[in-house]
């Protein structure tokens, strides 16, 4: 707690005003509206609305399309959370083995972070589209009927690849930082005891990285849930069929394309609950991390 | 830097280089591919496999893209798209830094009723990303007449719980003695900020700037919602509109040039400001 402060009474409010105004107008008011609308039934012209309690939620949660989106999101998020983490951890360990040239590797490794998710999706689509993708071409030569524009599984593979590719940079930087924080003495002791590198990795390094791993797991999940909208929208539009329609894409689609307000609002509220749970989870682990030292 | 305790010798170190090179190829290839494609004609692009070296049409493609207007997006020029995106990215980065610094300053260096309530009010916005309140936020924009305007693209995205938290944390490490000394010398809140706090905050500001510039440049959902006119599109949205696999007229060479221009500025920022970028990323933790 700070002992000395400025005595002004009005000035702090003036300083806070812009941030508070923006949060109230663009965050709290709309979030409140989402709650309100989630319990209203509106006619398609938005002229009348009536209170229906939890009916919208009941309908959304029993809608096979929503359950499909839930399943797609679960598969997509699990893959997007896990794949870049595994690749980044492996590469971070390789980078630690190296003495010279680390800086250059890092510089090249952080590029994807700067690429917009939607563009990451488009880049992968350029490489793997069935009509002229250079990397789709060998697949077709091998007799694989590769077509992400028509085949749901292929579409899923493509969006997962693009989303995971973009997230490698972030995970890599955190694992490198995590590895550098591992006390030297522990590894030296292990070496003296004759432990192999592989053994030392799984018994010392990996457990000590647990806080970083958990942290990245949450960050990657939040990324997969929310920041990948651009990839889905730009590459597949949720299709083919509904094979890549995630929860966020469905909220957008129902609210702006199909104009089903009550359902879209109910889905928004469900998403809000998911974010709150994830954020709470994240802060628990960050606090833990502090205790680890 | 001291040698890492995980550093290896001999063949193991060589293997490390091997995997790193392989990893870099995977990471950099998509960007390299689109750059190569941007130097070939549409005919070459449409006839796989694409040669993996730059083609002869590079200058012509870039010249055409910059001098002409792109029919697929209503004849808007590339300059206009780059300009829009720069305004949005800078607006978001600078706006976020300005309002988060102001709020963190108020919360740390003043005492007033509801101080902590204000802090929590800002903090909780972490849990309300645009994606969970799309429809009603859009309605607010319509009611305020902010559709197709720069304030519409920028304002809703500049509230920042993370930046406020970071500045608050940093301001709390400023020793009381510094403030006492400044006050004894008769410095008011503005003098103290300008002469002492701002110079001390510069590395943090640079770190947050890089992260938020990238955040602004790569926005997708929000610009998609609040821009109807092609004139107001950011380059990312315009690129999406240019691409059609069904349309035989898609000018793929110009699509590739536009992709390169959409990717290059943020990559340059990250690479050139790498030190602050890594600091910003690892310290803000989100």
The radius of gyration computed from the CA coordinates of chain B, to the nearest angstrom, equals 24
- Quick: pLDDT tens for A215-231: 888 889 888 988 889 99
CB B216 within 8 A of CB B155: no
Tokens read off for B47: 């006839």
Q: CB count, 10 Å around CB of A105?
A: 22
According to the model, what pLDDT value does residue A288 have?
Answer: 54
- Quick: pLDDT tens for A35-50: 888 887 776 666 677 7
According to the model, what pLDDT value does residue A18 have?
Answer: 92
According to the model, what pLDDT value does residue A285 have?
Answer: 65
Indicate if the pLDDT at residue A293 is higher than 70. no
Name which of B23, B37, B274 is nearest A107 (Cβ-Cβ): B274
According to the model, what pLDDT value does residue B169 have?
Answer: 86
pLDDT band at A292 (very low <50, low <70, confident <90, very high): very low
Question: Mean pLDDT over all residues of chain A?
Answer: 84
Question: Mean pLDDT over all residues of chain B?
Answer: 85
Collapsing DSSP to helix, strand or coil, A41 comes out as strand
Nearest CA-CA distance, residue A120 and chain B, Å: 8
- Quick: pLDDT tens for A205-261: 888 888 888 888 888 988 898 888 999 998 888 778 888 888 889 888 888 877 777
Q: Do A272 and B127 touch (CB under 8 A)?
A: yes
Give the CA dihedral A82, A85, A91, A93, nearest 10 degrees. -110
* Biggest distance spanned by C-alpha atoms of chain A: 78
pLDDT band at B286 (very low <50, low <70, confident <90, very high): very low
Interface ipTM:
0.86
Q: Which of A4, A14, A16 to mutate to test the interface with B (most CBs of B within 10 A)?
A: A16
A264: chain B residues, CB-CB within 8 Å: 134-135
Query: What is the rounded distance in angstroms from the CA atom of residue B234 to the CA atom of residue B89?
Result: 10
- Quick: pLDDT tens for B210-250: 989 999 999 998 999 888 888 888 999 988 888 877 767 78
Beta bridge partners of A51: A40
Please indicate, yes or no, whether the overall pTM of this predicted structure exceeds 0.90.
no
Query: What is the rounded distance in angstroms from the CA atom of residue A3 to the CA atom of residue B114?
Result: 18
According to the model, what pLDDT value does residue B69 have?
Answer: 67
Q: Which of B212, B182, B108 is nearest to A16 (CA)?
A: B108
A218: chain B residues, CB-CB within 8 Å: none
């Amino acid at each position: 707690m700070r002992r000395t402060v400025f005595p002004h009474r009005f000035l702090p409010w003036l300083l806070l005003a812009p941030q508070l105004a923006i949060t109230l107008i663009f965050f709290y008011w709309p979030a409140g509206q989402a709650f309100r609308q989630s319990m209203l039934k509106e006619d398609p012209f938005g002229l009348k609305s009536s209170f229906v309690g939890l009916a919208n939620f009941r309908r959304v949660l029993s809608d096979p399309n929503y359950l499909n989106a839930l399943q797609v999101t679960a598969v997509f998020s699990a893959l997007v959370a896990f794949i870049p983490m595994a690749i980044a951890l492996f590469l971070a360990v390789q980078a630690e083995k190296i003495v010279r040239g680390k800086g250059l590797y890092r510089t090249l490794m952080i590029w994807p972070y700067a690429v917009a998710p939607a563009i990451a999706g488009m880049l992968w689509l350029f490489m793997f589209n069935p009509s002229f993708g250079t990397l789709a071409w060998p697949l077709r030569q091998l007799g694989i009927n590769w077509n992400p524009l028509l085949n749901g599984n292929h579409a899923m593979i493509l969006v997962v690849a693009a989303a995971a590719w973009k997230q490698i940079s972030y995970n890599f930087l955190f694992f490198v930082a995590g590895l550098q924080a591992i006390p030297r003495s522990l590894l030296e002791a292990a070496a003296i005891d004759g432990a192999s590198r592989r053994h030392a990795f799984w018994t010392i390094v990996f457990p000590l990285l647990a806080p970083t791993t958990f942290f990245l797991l949450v960050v990657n999940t939040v990324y997969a849930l929310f920041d990948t909208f651009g990839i889905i929208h730009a590459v597949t539009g949720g299709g083919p069929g509904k094979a890549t329609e995630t929860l966020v894409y469905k909220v957008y689609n129902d609210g702006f394309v199909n104009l089903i307000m009550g359902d879209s609002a109910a889905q928004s509220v469900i998403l809000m609950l998911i974010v709150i749970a994830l954020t709470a989870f994240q802060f628990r682990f960050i606090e833990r991390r502090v205790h680890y030292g | 830097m001291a040698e890492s305790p995980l550093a290896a010798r001999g063949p193991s170190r060589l293997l490390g280089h091997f995997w790193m090179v392989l990893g870099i190829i995977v990471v950099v290839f998509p960007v390299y591919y689109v750059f190569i494609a941007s130097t070939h004609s549409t005919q070459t692009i449409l006839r796989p496999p694409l040669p993996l070296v730059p083609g002869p049409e590079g200058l012509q493609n870039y010249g055409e893209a910059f001098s002409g207007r792109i029919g697929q997006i209503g004849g808007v020029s590339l300059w206009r798209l780059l300009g829009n995106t720069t305004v949005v990215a800078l607006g978001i980065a600078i706006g976020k830094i300005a309002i988060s610094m102001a709020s963190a300053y108020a919360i740390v260096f003043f005492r007033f009723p509801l101080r902590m309530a204000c802090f929590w009010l800002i903090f909780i916005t972490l849990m309300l990303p645009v994606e969970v309140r799309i429809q009603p936020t859009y309605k607010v924009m319509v009611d305020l007449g902010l559709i197709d305007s720069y304030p519409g693209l920028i304002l809703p995205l500049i509230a920042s719980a993370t930046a406020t938290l970071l500045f608050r944390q940093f301001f709390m490490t400023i020793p009381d003695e510094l403030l006492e000394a400044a006050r004894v010398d008769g410095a008011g809140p503005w003098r103290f900020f300008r002469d002492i706090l701002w110079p001390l905050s510069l590395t943090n500001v640079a770190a947050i700037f890089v992260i938020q510039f990238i955040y602004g440049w790569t926005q997708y959902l929000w610009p998609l919602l609040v821009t109807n006119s092609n004139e107001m599109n950011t380059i990312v949205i315009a690129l999406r509109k240019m691409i059609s696999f069904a349309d035989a007229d898609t000018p793929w060479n110009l699509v590739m040039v536009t992709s390169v221009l959409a990717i290059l500025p943020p990559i340059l920022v990250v690479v050139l400001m790498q030190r602050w970028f890594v600091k910003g990323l690892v310290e803000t933790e989100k």
